[in-house]
Amino acid sequence: MNVTVINNRPVKIWTDEVEQSAMAQIENLTRLPFMFHHVAIMPDVHAGMGMPIGGVLACCDAVIPNAVGVDIGCGMCAVKTSWQVADIPADVLRKQVMRGIRKRIPLGMEHHKEAQSAEYLPQGHNLERTPVVSQRQKAILKEVGTLGGGNHFIELQRDPDGMLWVMIHSGSRNLGKLVGDHYNKLAMQLNERWHSVVTPDLRLAFLPLRTNEFNAYWAEMQYCVDFALCNRRLMMQRIQEVLADALPGIEFEPMINIAHNYAAWEHHYGHDVIVHRKGATLAREGVVGIIPGSQGTASYIVEGMGNPESFCSCSHGAGRVMSRTAAIRDLDLRAEVERLDALGIVHAIRSQNDMQEASGAYKDIDTVIANQADLVRPLVRLLPVAVIKG
């Protein structure tokens, strides 16, 4: 971990490599008058909108929609099964399992053709306090249980004992984007009206505690976090159904789940503050989390060590080293396909456009894990067997 001081504010960084655009955004965070104690930057850091991905920001009495992001509640889940990967015939894996998953779970921008049961949606929320969410109740019945696009994925994996695991990366779909965009725009309007020192060029407009706007955003954000979990849980249920049909007698351990785009009230350094984790996950002592790699590389199940210097956080993945545009332009499609084929990984890479999520666009996951040895303990190293991208 490196410590630097910017604008007389400490910044603690768990990597030696930070791209210039991300460093500029880190500098902007140190200019916030309500920033608390220090900024923590995880080893998967790369530029985002306003705040870098892999950033952890604690604030006094203010929430920043762009410091949460638009895929509110996006996160990971994983389940260990009772089957050995070696016992799964190749034709069963490809024809029954992979085809079955694609049939049951819409990918990319696709939704279910029929509305799903309302029992799959978050319960216990007061929809009168969530105007954006309440308008989408009908639409999200077709979105719950869908993967989405970008870097979202479903992956079948093997652990060192050869056991089959299922891992999912997905979020709150279009709902989170609508909520995030709405409240960021509202915050920008209010900040301009207040002649705030948080100027528009920072892209870090905020909502102060004890305002109606803060309360509305907080309620809608929490719904989105819960919806993202419901989304992952339903997909995992559908995958388990496919596996049960293909692999008689298969059993499943309890699902591990962790989110990486949200804000929460927490107690740090003697104060109650609002901690924003944008592309970062909770790593309190004993908390079990998931740090995925890139396509065709390892992923890790980890245990948090409760390091206060990171606000009890760790990375959410490997982190990009190349934009999607650059990856499509520069990476070698044939070489990527040959690499995955040589590893025996079932994949669906077919075009140059698929290079945006190739492993060459991401940091090395083992280096990322090594850089946060004081934040998490690796529990299980998982290697990919088959990959479905959004």
Residues paired with residue 157 on neighbouring β-strands, in sequence order: 165, 384
Helix, strand, or coil (residue 343): coil
Rounded Cα–Cα distance for residues 85 and 165 (Å): 9
DSSP conformational letter for 173: H
DSSP conformational letter for 95: I
β-bridge pairing 53-59 and 376-389:
unpaired
Cβ proximity of 159 and 380 under 8 Å? yes
Helix, strand, or coil (residue 333): helix
Beta-carbon contacts of residue 36 (< 8 Å; ≥ 6 apart) = 58, 59, 60, 268, 269, 271, 273
CA–chain centroid gap for 2, Å, is: 24
Give the burial class of 31: count Cβ atoms within 10 A of its Cβ; 0-12 exposed, 13-18 middle, 19 or more buried: middle
Cβ proximity of 54 and 41 under 8 Å? yes
Of the candidates 38, 276, 316, 347, the residue annotated as catalytic is 316
**Phi, psi angles (nearest 5°) of residue 100:** -65, -40
Distance between start and end Cα atoms, the chain: 34
Residue carrying structure tokens 């004081």? 374
260 a catalytic residue: no
- Which DSSP string corresponds to 96-145? IIIHHHHHHS--TT---SSPPPGGGS--S--GGG-HHHHHTTTGGGTTTT
Closest by CA position to 295, among listed 359, 252, 342: 359
Cβ proximity of 164 and 156 under 8 Å? yes
Closest by CA position to 179, among listed 77, 86, 73: 73
Residues labelled as active-site residues: 316
